[in-house]
Amino acid sequence: MNSDCTSSSASQLITVEEEKSKAFARCLHDHHPMYFNKEAAAALRYDNILASPTFPVAWWKRFTQPWLPKNEVIIHGEQLFVYSQQLLAGDQIKCSMKLKSAREKAGLLIVKQVLSGSNQNGPVFDAETTLFIPRQKEQSRQVSSESQAAVIRADLETGPITTKELYRYAEVSGDDQPIHLKPEAARNAGFSTNIVHGMYLMGRAAVLFHPELELGRRLKKYRMRFQQPLSAGDGLAFYADRKKAEGHIYFTGKNREDGSPLVTGHAEFESI
């Protein structure tokens, strides 16, 4: 494959089903009323309940992705959502997926693919995904430990993320890759045990956005870079910087147990 490859999958018309949208938010432990209650959504000037910011991931498996090798370990490197409109329950979205680029570097196949959605009013979202596919069997992946110099209170913490939770997320998202669910499969891929989905981490972090959304702002861009995986059974802590720029949230995510860095993220908001 080369960087100017323009492979794509056929477009599909997909409805944002209300119950699936609610189940997705519930799985991410995001219980804000705007995702469940039409009156709460109306108070924010929306016609129906909102879909979670990362909800489009539930549509990835609907599309053929011939540019991805079969039966290979796929690691999430980076994810970007760009929203032109808020995604709501009941929306009918015309979606398509295309390969943006594919290149090999340092023993990895690096693939960028884009899922796009639009409605009768124009573009709704673009979701650009960067994936790493190892081209050779790697040595055991050791998770580094980075203790914090001082104890800083997290803006959002989770308890231990269990394999049972990962099975629930696999059900609502469609991502049932064995490295997330089967310790043996993860060990064969070089991990110490099964690892948490990167998009699960991104979905959990979106709880940080509630104050901005409650001010009547709309999520415009949401990016996360994945530095290293979180093992099943470990917890997660997010630290947010809301003062860097108005309408922006910058944050980091760390392993709650040992402080090792997991992700960095940025979200941008605009007034409705």
Domains and CATH numbers, the chain: 12-271 (3.10.129.10)
> Which tops the pLDDT comparison, 183 or 244?
183
SS3 for the chain is CCCCCCCECCCEEEECCHHHHHHHHHHCCCCCHHHCCHHHHHHCCCCCCECCCCHHHHHHHHCCCCCCCCCCCCEEEEEEEEECCCCECCCEEEEEEEEEEEEEECCEEEEEEEEEEEECCEEEEEEEEEEEEECCCCCCCCCCCCCCCCCCCCCEECCCCCHHHHHHHHHHHCCCCHHHHCHHHHHHCCCCCCECCHHHHHHHHHHHHHHHHHCCEEEEEEEEEECCCCECCCCEEEEEECCCCCCEEEEEEEECCCCCEEEEEEEEEEEC
β-pair partners for 236: 255
Q: Is the per-residue pLDDT at 146 higher than 80?
A: no
State residue 151's pLDDT score.
Answer: 55
State residue 136's pLDDT score.
Answer: 66
Q: Is the per-residue pLDDT at 147 higher than 70?
A: no
Q: Is the per-residue pLDDT at 157 higher than 90?
A: yes
Q: Which residue has the tokens 């997660």?
A: 236
Q: Is the per-residue pLDDT at 235 higher than 70?
A: yes
Q: Are strands 156-157 and 122-134 parallel, antiparallel or unpaired?
A: unpaired
Q: What does the pLDDT average to over 228-233? A: 97
Q: What does the pLDDT average to over 65-90? A: 95
Amino acid at 222: Y
| The token pair that represents 223 in the structure block | 């990016």
| The token pair that represents 96 in the structure block | 């398509």
Of 52-56, 138-142, 195-199, minimum mean pLDDT range: 138-142
What is d(CA 32, CA 186) in angstroms, rounded to the nearest whole number?
Answer: 33
| The token pair that represents 137 in the structure block | 């069997």
Q: Read off the pLDDT of residues 109-126 as tens digits, 9 standing for 90 and up.
A: 999 999 999 999 999 999
| The token pair that represents 29 in the structure block | 């432990």
Q: Is the per-residue pLDDT at 108 higher than 70?
A: yes
State residue 153's pLDDT score.
Answer: 87
Percentage of the chain with pLDDT > 70?
A: 92
**Cα angle 226, 227, 228; round to 5:** 100
